[in-house]
Amino acid sequence: MTSMEPGYIALYRSGELERRARALEARLASCDVCPRECRCNRLENELGYCHSGLLPIVSAVCAHLGEEPAISGTRGSGTVFFGNCNLRCVYCQNHQISQDRRRQRSKQMDCHTLAEEMLYLQNELGCHNINFVSPSHFVPQLLRAVLEAVPMGLRVPLVYNTSSYDSVASLRELDGVISIYLPDLRYASDEWAKKLSGVSDYVERAREAIAEMYRQVGDLSVDKAGLAQKGLIVRHLVLPNGLAGSEESLTWLARQLSPTVSVSLMSQYRPVHRALRMPLLSRTISFGEYGAALRLLADLGLENGWVQEMGASEEYLPDFEREGHPFPSILETTEEPIPT
């Protein structure tokens, strides 16, 4: 298919984008933007679980070639790494920006400046899209920045790159704004979600969120160059010792969502942060564990998407203390299409 005009442009022309931005910002007065529903007044910079007030925290902005090929393309995905998080994953590879809240205070950025950064990614770096990483607690600010950026010339697709611990009510305000959803499906067990990510209702919340994303954008559509224009790509990171519940999660995707959904199966788990002190998480995954997940894709008929090669854990670890780009180099992807 050919490239399409992102839906947020029509929403801007009609005034709907501004209406939604205002509605989301009003919810910050008693914040229920994510499933934590802390009810703090973020308009007055009261802090809840995510330790984030009114202004968005932007930890890094870069062209990223390490995403799925349909996202990164040849010129990279224009990635905006938001700081802080509404989860506390013990193995988070972005823990420097997601869990070190004191260091992130200096990274606050007003929405107009964020809009300018988005235009820099589009116009100066030539990125194929704008990729918001960990946006669940900054949905109002994200929408306000898009509202600012459209009259400045923003025209590329927007990617919502999330852990999936998202509010369905917030996601509905993004209907027609986000072109590509890139959610994780981390767990099939709330017991492990609580132990490893500090959340007791992840499974239901994530599945509801992913179903809403799929309702909005459907299966992945790409242009003639293979670049994503619209659709859903679900990431599943295989964890050691079966902690991700791969069989149950992938079965849910195939049977309750759709066997045509695009899946990105990831082998890149590496024990970092607090996982180094946890015996069940203190090693990378084995060939047998990853092979079992690959067989599941085939058995369930999940034929669309990508799989990482083994050894990816050595290539995808960012360092947000590095000046400029958080990765040692602009990564070439090691992901391959799902074998049919």
Query: Mind giving me the DSSP string for 37-84?
Result: -----GGGT---TT---SS-BEEEEEEE-SS-HHHHTTT-EEEEEE--
Please enumerate, as own/partner, the contacts of 217-221 that have beta carbons within 8 Å and a separation of 24 or more.
Answer: 217/178, 217/179, 217/180, 217/181, 219/258, 219/260, 219/261, 219/262, 219/304, 220/70, 220/180, 220/262, 220/304, 221/1
pLDDT at 104: 57
In the three-class reduction of DSSP (H, G, I as helix; E, B as strand; rest coil), residue 224 is classed as coil
Q: How far is CA 229 from the centre of its chain?
A: 16
Tokens of 86: 């509404």
Q: Report whether pLDDT(25) > 90.
A: yes
Task: Answer yes or no: are the C-beta atoms of 202 and 190 closer than 8 Å.
Answer: yes
pLDDT at 333: 43
pLDDT at 246: 98
Portion of the chain with pLDDT greater than 90, in percent: 84
Cα(319)–Cα(95) distance, rounded to whole angstroms?
A: 10
**pLDDT tens column, 235-262:** 999 999 999 999 999 999 999 999 999 9
Type of residue at 136: S
- Segment 54-81 mean pLDDT: 95
Which range (23-27, 177-181, 319-323) has the least confidence? 319-323
Portion of the chain with pLDDT greater than 70, in percent: 89
Tokens of 209: 């969120």
pLDDT at 3: 61
Q: What is the mean pLDDT of the chain?
A: 92
Burial class of 81 by CB neighbour count within 10 A (0 to 12, 13 to 18, 19+): buried
pLDDT at 101: 67
Label residue 319 by pLDDT band (50, 70, 90): low
Cα(234)–Cα(164) distance, rounded to whole angstroms?
A: 10
Query: What are the residue ranges of helices labelled H in the chain?
Result: 7-14, 16-27, 69-72, 95-98, 101-104, 111-119, 139-149, 168-172, 190-197, 202-217, 246-252, 287-300
Cα(28)–Cα(52) distance, rounded to whole angstroms?
A: 11
Domains and CATH numbers, the chain: 7-337 (3.20.20.70)
pLDDT at 330: 43
Q: Report whether pLDDT(106) > 90.
A: no
**pLDDT tens column, 122-146:** 999 999 999 999 999 999 999 999 9
Label residue 95 by pLDDT band (50, 70, 90): confident
- Segment 322-328 mean pLDDT: 63
> CB 194: neighbour CB atoms within 10 A?
14
Q: Report whether pLDDT(332) > 70.
A: no
- Segment 28-48 mean pLDDT: 97
Q: Report whether pLDDT(203) > 80.
A: yes
pLDDT at 102: 67
Q: Report whether pLDDT(206) > 90.
A: yes
- Segment 174-193 mean pLDDT: 98
pLDDT at 93: 86
